[in-house]
Amino acid sequence: MVKVALISGSLRKESLSTKIAKSVGGLFPEGYETQFVEIGNLPLYNEDIDTQSNVPAEYTAFRNAIKESDAVLFVTPEYNRSITGALKNALDVGSRPYGQSSWNGKPAAVISQSIGNLSGFGANHHLRQSLVFLNMPTLQQPEAYLANSAQLFDENGKMNEDTTQFLQTFVNTFIDLIGRHQN
**More confident call, 94 vs 182:** 94
Establish whether the linkage from the previous residue to 97 is cis, with ω within 30° of 0. yes
In terms of DSSP H, where are the helices of the chain? 16-25, 57-67, 85-94, 121-133, 161-180
26 CB neighbour count, 10 Å cutoff: 11
Task: Please compute the mean of the pLDDT values over residues 28-57 and round it to a whole number.
Answer: 96
pLDDT for the residue 183: 63
pLDDT for the residue 140: 97
Is the pLDDT score of 181 beyond 70?
Answer: yes
DSSP 9: S
| C-beta contacts of 175-180 below 8 A and 24+ residues apart | 175/28, 175/29, 175/32, 177/71, 177/107, 177/109, 177/137, 177/139, 178/2, 178/4, 178/70, 178/71, 178/107, 180/107, 180/137
**CATH number among 3.40.50.720, 3.40.50.360, 3.40.50.300, 3.30.70.380, domain 2-180:** 3.40.50.360
CA–CA separation, 112 and 20 (whole Å): 10
Type of residue found at 182: Q
| pLDDT, the chain, mean | 96
Nearest residue to 173 (alpha-carbon basis) of 1, 28, 8, 17: 28
Cβ atoms of residues 120 and 145 within 8 Å: yes
Task: Please compute the mean of the pLDDT values over residues 28-38 and round it to a whole number.
Answer: 98
DSSP 160: P
Percent of all residues in the chain with a pLDDT value above 70, rounded to a whole number: 99
Query: Domain segments of the chain: what residues?
Result: 2-180
pLDDT for the residue 182: 84
Is the pLDDT score of 7 beyond 80?
Answer: yes
- Model confidence band, residue 17 (pLDDT cutoffs 50, 70, 90): very high
Indicate whether this model's pTM tops 0.85.
yes
Task: Please compute the mean of the pLDDT values over residues 115-124 and round it to a whole number.
Answer: 91
Q: What is the pLDDT of residues 69-106, one digit of tens each?
A: 999 999 999 999 999 999 999 999 999 999 999 999 99
